[in-house]
Amino acid sequence: MSNTIELYDTTLRDGTQAENFNLSLEDKIRITLALDKLGIDFIEGGWPGSNPVSVDYFNKMQDVELQHAKLAAFGSTRHFKNSPDKDPNILALLNAKTPAVTIFGKSWDVHVRDALHIELDDNLQIIEDTLGFLRPHVEYLFYDAEHFFDGFKDNEKYALKTLESAADGGAQTLILCDTNGGTLPHEIPQIIEKVKNYLGEKDKLVDLGIHAHNDSETAVASSLLAVSESKVRQVQGTINGFGERCGNANLTSIIPALVFKLGLACEVQKHIDRLYATSRLVNELANLPHNRYQPYVGESAFAHKGGIHVSAVKQNPLTYEHIAPDKVGNIRRILISDQSGRSNILHKAKQWNLALEADDPVLATIISELKEQENLGYQYEGAEASFELLMRRALGLQRNYFKFESFRVMNHKYRMDKPPLTEATIRLFIGGSEVHTAAMGDGPVNALDTAIRKALTGFYPCLEEMALLDYKVRVLSEEHGTEARVRVLVESRDQYCTWGTVGVSVNIIEASWQALIDSINYKLMKEELRKSA
């Protein structure tokens, strides 16, 4: 037994049971490689006996060399009517050729009777038989005691017997699972202590692990208590807490707590600055939005909005940050809002290399304009590019790359069974030249965006590398119905970075135009600065 904490990731199996969470074979391999670089000890790739995708994954992974992590195949105890050497699911686990195998079995007598429809002693036998058969064939053999905590509360004696059978079968680690997620943290150490007392001498031969679900919003706390109070060695969870129902224990919260709060040894501590990037990669590949409020790896985890907070953080980050953001690969963000004080504005000016001092009269002008704009519904927390342009205009630093004269957008619903045709026409001046351009598009915003680029690209070729990433519309005054004011947030990117811009109007096309024009102006401004650097 070792004092080093083992981290076992089940994003590729348990995580994919989350609603709207889907990964392709290539996605699973990319995530596996990222988890390996992060320093995860065991990566559960799936259940090879359950579906062809898992079979393909394990076949592909046989040609992939991992630097640290060990791949684990997951499966159930043998079917009662099959011997282990004849059970298709058990044989599929061996065919996966992974160094680790994780077997789950029933700990709750209710499940034995109502799900397996066998006697309680028969369940003990299939647990021991399955593990005993696998033990000579794999380097690492783990046993997931499914529904252990519920089973323990319902029939303590029987739940403990299932663990004894797993240990007798040769399991090296017994993982106690809170499968329904209903056990509260304070219950965990008490139950684990009884497990250790029951195992007696066997406790010195096997390690214990924890696998918590988040249905009570306590999976992270339960996992950390199991480690700190009960000294379990293996912690199972998923990146970003994805999983069935309310999810699994979130490894992106558990890992920093283990390393920075509890000071425990694990391989991930060598690479923990990859945590933020790994978290975002999983979200991107699953095509799911990032949870900006997620601890440690969320965009708002180290974001500061109030002027007093900003001033304090600039003097000493510990005043409002429990760890330094760069330790997990995140960054500190100073937000611009109607709550902002002078400190926020000055911080942004320094960040953007703008000459602005605390006694500059322009500072008061910028703050006044900021508050006026936000009273109209503008929001700069997700649109800092628009705010940088506002500051540059106030300081007289923003060039007029073009002069926009007019635009027109037309929707033509020519047949009821066909989508409408959308055309945008624009008129602008660049230098002394008038440009009059039209373009078709998939909807009015796309048509307008296409027409603007068509007009400008000949003069500014760098716009060809710019792409629109995201487009969001929010109604600001719902009581006005279709006359409500709307806010449009646009996220754009090029080969160097991403940026956000904002527009507000009672007309959604007008608001979209404002955000698009800001986005293009920001790109041209950055290109000019890059060339002059």
Residues 38 and 147 in one domain: yes
Q: Tell me what pLDDT residue 424 has.
A: 94
List the beta strands (DSSP E) in 189-258: 207-212, 234-237
Last residue of a domain, one of 247, 270, 293: 270
291 within domain boundaries: no
Residues 265 and 317 in one domain: no
Lowest mean pLDDT among 141-145, 229-233, 375-379: 375-379
The pLDDT of 280-308, averaged and rounded, is 85
- On whether the CB atoms of residues 294 and 301 are closer than 8 A, the answer is yes
Q: Measuring CA to CA, how many Å separate 314 from each of 198, 307, 308, 310, 340? A: 54, 11, 10, 6, 14
Q: Tell me what pLDDT residue 417 has.
A: 85
Long-range own/partner contacts, residues 50-53 (CB < 8 A, 24 or more apart): 53/25
What is the rounded distance in angstroms from the CA atom of residue 379 to the CA atom of residue 204?
A: 59
3-state secondary structure 73-105: EEEECCCCCCCHHHCHHHHHHHHCCCCEEEEEE
Residue with tokens 């049971």: 17
Task: Give the residue with greater pLDDT, 351 vs 484.
Answer: 351
What is the rounded distance in angstroms from the CA atom of residue 533 to the CA atom of residue 530?
A: 5
Last residue of a domain, one of 270, 286, 315: 270
| Closest to 31 in 3D by CA, of 274, 333, 281 | 281
Task: Please check the confidence at residue 340 and state whether its pLDDT lies above 80.
Answer: no
The pLDDT of 81-91, averaged and rounded, is 96
Amino acid at 197: N
DSSP 497: -
Residues 146 and 108 in one domain: yes
The rounded percent of the chain whose pLDDT value lies above 90 is 71
| Half-sphere exposure for 115 (CA within 13 Å, toward CB) | 12
Task: Give the residue with greater pLDDT, 471 vs 31.
Answer: 31
292 within domain boundaries: no
140 within domain boundaries: yes
| Segment 203-260, tens digit of pLDDT | 788 999 999 999 999 999 999 999 999 999 999 999 999 999 999 999 999 999 999 9
Lowest mean pLDDT among 227-241, 341-355, 498-512: 341-355
Task: Please check the confidence at residue 154 and state whether its pLDDT lies above 90.
Answer: yes
Residues 160 and 263 in one domain: yes
329-338 core/surface letters (b: 16 or more CB in 10 A; e: else): bbebbbbbbe
- According to the per-residue pLDDT averaged within each range, which of 188-192, 291-295, 333-337, 508-512 is highest? 188-192
Taking residue 38's Cβ as centre, other Cβ atoms within 10 Å add up to 26
Task: Please check the confidence at residue 380 and state whether its pLDDT lies above 70.
Answer: yes
Q: Tell me what pLDDT residue 427 has.
A: 94
Amino acid at 452: I
Residues 80 and 29 in one domain: yes
Q: Work out the pLDDT band at 478, boundaries 50, 70, 90.
A: low
List the beta strands (DSSP E) in 128-241: 140-146, 173-178, 207-212, 234-237
Range of the domain at 431: 403-532
User: What does the CA dihedral 383, 388, 389, 390 come to, rounded to 10 degrees?
Assistant: 90
Q: Tell me what pLDDT residue 459 has.
A: 93
Residues 308 and 181 in one domain: no
Task: Please check the confidence at residue 533 and state whether its pLDDT lies above 90.
Answer: no
Query: What is the C-alpha radius of gyration for the chain, rounded to an integer number of angstroms?
Result: 29
388 within domain boundaries: no
Last residue of a domain, one of 270, 293, 325: 270
- The bridge status of strand 207-212 relative to strand 173-178 is parallel
275 within domain boundaries: no
Residues 21 and 94 in one domain: yes
The pLDDT of 274-287, averaged and rounded, is 90
Task: Please check the confidence at residue 185 and state whether its pLDDT lies above 70.
Answer: yes
Strand partners, 423: 410, 440
Q: Tell me what pLDDT residue 476 has.
A: 82
287 within domain boundaries: no
Q: Would you list the DSSP string of 462-477?
A: GGGG-EEEEEEEEES-
Q: Tell me what pLDDT residue 125 has.
A: 98
Residues 307 and 257 in one domain: no
Q: Tell me what pLDDT residue 126 has.
A: 98
Burial label for 85, CB within 10 Å (0-12, 13-18, 19+), is exposed
Q: Measuring CA to CA, how many Å separate 232 from each of 6, 78, 287? A: 9, 27, 34
330 within domain boundaries: yes
Q: Tell me what pLDDT residue 160 has.
A: 98
423 within domain boundaries: yes
3-state secondary structure 5-64: CEEEECCCCCHHHCCCCCCCHHHHHHHHHHHHHHCCCEEEEECCCCCHHHHHHHHHHCCC
Q: Tell me what pLDDT residue 1 has.
A: 45
Greatest alpha-carbon span in the chain = 90
Residues 53 and 177 in one domain: yes
| Segment 417-441, tens digit of pLDDT | 888 899 999 999 998 889 999 999 9
Domain count, the chain: 3
- On whether the CB atoms of residues 215 and 247 are closer than 8 A, the answer is no
Residues 341 and 409 in one domain: no
Q: Work out the pLDDT band at 336, boundaries 50, 70, 90.
A: low
Residue with tokens 């646009």: 490
Residues 106 and 245 in one domain: yes
CATH number assigned to the domain comprising residue 510:
3.30.160.270
| Closest to 314 in 3D by CA, of 276, 354, 353, 341 | 341
Task: Please check the confidence at residue 291 and state whether its pLDDT lies above 60.
Answer: yes
Average pLDDT, the chain: 91
Give kind and range of the element (H or E) at residue 311.
helix 307-315
Residues 92 and 228 in one domain: yes
What is the rounded distance in angstroms from the CA atom of residue 96 to the CA atom of residue 266?
A: 27
CATH number assigned to the domain comprising residue 170:
3.20.20.70
| Closest to 160 in 3D by CA, of 188, 196, 134 | 196
Q: Measuring CA to CA, how many Å separate 117 from each of 50, 107, 133, 370? A: 21, 14, 23, 68
